[in-house]
Amino acid sequence: MDIRVFEGLFGVLLISSLYVIYQQDIILTIAGVIGVYIGFRIIKSRNKTVVPYSNKTVLITGCDTGIGHNIAVRLGKKGVTVLACCLSATSPGGEKLKSIGSNVHVLDTDVTSEDSVQNCLKFVKTICDKKGLWAIVNNAGIVRCGDVELTTMEVYSQIIQVNLFGMIRVCKAFLPLVRQAKGRVVNVTSVRGIIAYPAFSAYSMSKFAAEAFSDSLRMEMSRFGVKVIIVEPGNYGGATALWEEENVNDMNAAASPDVLNTYGNGYLHRLAMNGIEGCSTTYPNLIPVSDVLEDAIFNQKPESRYLIDGSNKLYDIDCVSM
């Protein structure tokens, strides 16, 4: 069935729901709207058009581990030309990527360094200077937690340099090649770029800013036929290995005695335990994120943003809360 039929049905149902609500049959209205919406999503997914993978080149940052590594492996095995940017090309993740095939190029790239990104650009031009770059996946990122009083300015600066300025730096360097291919930019943010939590001010502010940057860039690039997509993973801390207990130990070493005394001797330990407990409820692998990234990269008409449930429970409380 044509998706336009479901769009029409959905509109008619919404209008008719006013009458049904007037008749006080609210349950029927809710059930009907949910039913048509589910049907709409099913038909839309079955009618999607996928861009051919052949002759496409995709640049991915943060490929040493986690999300970036997983999607680089997946696309590499499917024959896509992958430019896998690693902080260290000789890391275990980088070495594994090299073994996939000649279509996967592992590049030493520090997104916080202009020289490093420009050196990466020089190599990328040798691969796709004539056809352009189909997609950038800005995935490189770090997490640091801690209350504002317990987070040093150095930590705030480090997170912004990687999660925000790194994304901007990569976009500015590679956008001409993406415009040439009329491709797309896929920026990995987080559910915590939509809703903020205590002890995550530095991380959340970097992701909120990345969301705003991406939305502005989408509007600017639309006239060039370039799509900008935001991918917002939920609770995947345990699967990405971004959470590290030593972050809490660093806070303990940097905090003044007055602040530590105010918060209490056991506060940082409880913070560490909460982080470990949160990781235990994360989805066990990154397959859902890789599925979404692949859709964002190759769907002819991708969503503007994808929110990905990341819990191993019935639902991801972070995604529901927003």
User: Which pLDDT does position 314 carry in this prediction?
Assistant: 44
User: Which pLDDT does position 316 carry in this prediction?
Assistant: 45
Measured between alpha carbons, how far is 199 from 150 in angstroms, rounded to an integer?
Answer: 9
Structure token pair of residue 113? 């360094």
Kindly provide the residue ranges of all beta strands, DSSP E only, lying in the chain, ordered along the sequence: 57-61, 81-86, 104-108, 135-138, 184-188, 227-233, 305-308
Distance of CA 89 to the CA centre of its chain: 22
Note the pTM of the prediction, 2 decimals.
Answer: 0.84
Residue 233 φ/ψ, nearest 5 degrees:
-65, 145
Beta-carbon contacts of residue 72 (< 8 Å; ≥ 6 apart): 60, 63, 82, 84, 97, 104
User: Which pLDDT does position 95 carry in this prediction?
Assistant: 98
Instruction: Give the residue among 76, 191, 201 at the shortest CA–CA distance from 137.
Output: 76
Can you list the alpha helix ranges (DSSP code H) found in 201-266?
201-221, 237-240, 246-254, 257-263
Q: Looking at the domain covering 57-321, what would its CATH class be?
A: alpha beta
Q: Annotated active-site positions, please?
A: 203
Structure token pair of residue 263? 């918060």
Measured between alpha carbons, how far is 160 from 207 in angstroms, rounded to an integer?
Answer: 9
| H-helix or E-strand spanning residue 106 | strand 104-108
User: Which pLDDT does position 319 carry in this prediction?
Assistant: 52
User: Which pLDDT does position 274 carry in this prediction?
Assistant: 72
User: Which pLDDT does position 13 carry in this prediction?
Assistant: 64
Sequence spans of domains, the chain: 3-46, 57-321
User: Which pLDDT does position 70 carry in this prediction?
Assistant: 97
What are the pLDDT tens digits along the chain (322 aa)? 455 565 666 666 666 666 665 555 566 666 666 665 666 566 566 667 899 999 999 999 999 999 999 999 999 999 999 999 999 999 999 999 999 999 999 999 999 999 999 999 999 999 997 899 999 999 999 998 889 999 999 999 999 999 999 999 999 999 999 999 999 999 999 999 999 989 899 999 999 999 999 999 999 999 999 999 999 998 876 544 555 556 777 777 788 889 888 988 788 778 777 766 665 556 678 999 999 999 999 999 999 999 998 665 544 445 545 5
